Copies of this chain bind each other. A is one copy, B any other.
Amino acid sequence: MKESIGAKTFLYPCPAVGVATYDADGKANVMTVAWAGVVNGNPASLSISVRKETYTYGNLMAKKAFTVNIPSQKYLEQLDYFGKTSGRDTDKFAETDLTPVRSELVDAPYIKEFPVNIECKVIKAEDLGLHTIFIAEIVDVKVDDDCLDEYHLPLTKKINPIAYIPGDGTYYALGEALLVRKRN
């Protein structure tokens, strides 16, 4: 039997990533985002959704740029911390001993220690209610070279990303590979 549980954001699974930006003074900030997804294959684009109250929101509006940083599982504690504090009061990079690296392509920092960094340029922002969606073109993706195979394709098990399940509010590991759909 189906049970109706109301209008909830129960998409399974969501990515759990760190979105990094600069503020007006050039201070690097980072927040946890699970409301993110690929939105276009060509030009390669993704979206993130952010509440207007966040420090990141102002940075995104001013700089029109951000990076999406995919953590390995060993950075879960830091990732979770990014979502519990505001960049208004804290230097989250200093607090977590992570290193912001200035992107040469967009006006945003990326997280050196996270294995995948996606550099993004905001194409449009749209207020949807509680959240504003930022649709952004992917300018480049940088991957730690020990997370790439001999064909320069990513080794997902080495990247070891984190999933977020809105339904139970829990971070999960990625499990075993089930089926190859296509090779890149």
List chain A positions with a Cβ less than 8 A from chain B. Answer: 1-15, 17, 34-47, 49, 51, 68, 70, 73, 76, 80, 83, 112, 116-118, 128-131, 133, 135, 137-145, 148, 152-156, 159, 161-184
Given contacts A2-B144, A167-B154, A182-B169, contact A12 B15 (CB under 8 A): yes
Additional pairs, 13, CB under 8 Å, beyond known A3-B144, A11-B38, A174-B174: A2-B145, A7-B141, A9-B38, A10-B154, A11-B36, A11-B37, A12-B15, A12-B174, A35-B39, A39-B49, A133-B135, A173-B175, A175-B176
Q: DSSP class of A's interface residues: helix, strand, loop or mixed? A: strand
> Hey, which chain B residues are within 8 Å of A137, CB to CB?
7
The closest CB in chain B to the CB of A43 belongs to B129
C-alpha gap A6/B43 in the complex (Å): 12
Smallest CB separation, A65 vs chain B (Å): 14
Partner of A143, one of B3, B143, B152: B3
* Contacts known (A141-B4, A175-B174); A47 close to B40, Cβ less than 8 A: no
Asked whether, in the complex, the Cβ of B171 is within 8 Å of the Cβ of A43, the reply is: no
**A7-B43 Cα distance, complex, nearest whole Å:** 8
The answer to whether B142 and A5 have CB atoms under 8 Å apart is yes
Rounded to whole angstroms, the CA-CA distance of A17 and B133 in the bound complex is 21
User: Quick one: closest B residue to A148, CB to CB?
Assistant: B3
Residue from the list B152, B156, B169, B184 in contact with A183, Cβ < 8 A: B169
Closest CB-CB distance, A42 to chain B, in whole Å? 4
B152 and A12 form a contact (CB under 8 A): no
CB distance from A63 to the nearest CB of B (A): 19
**Chain B minimum-CB-distance residue to A165:** B156
How far, in Å, is A133 (CB) from chain B's closest CB?
Answer: 5
Bound Cα distance from A144 to B2, whole angstroms: 4
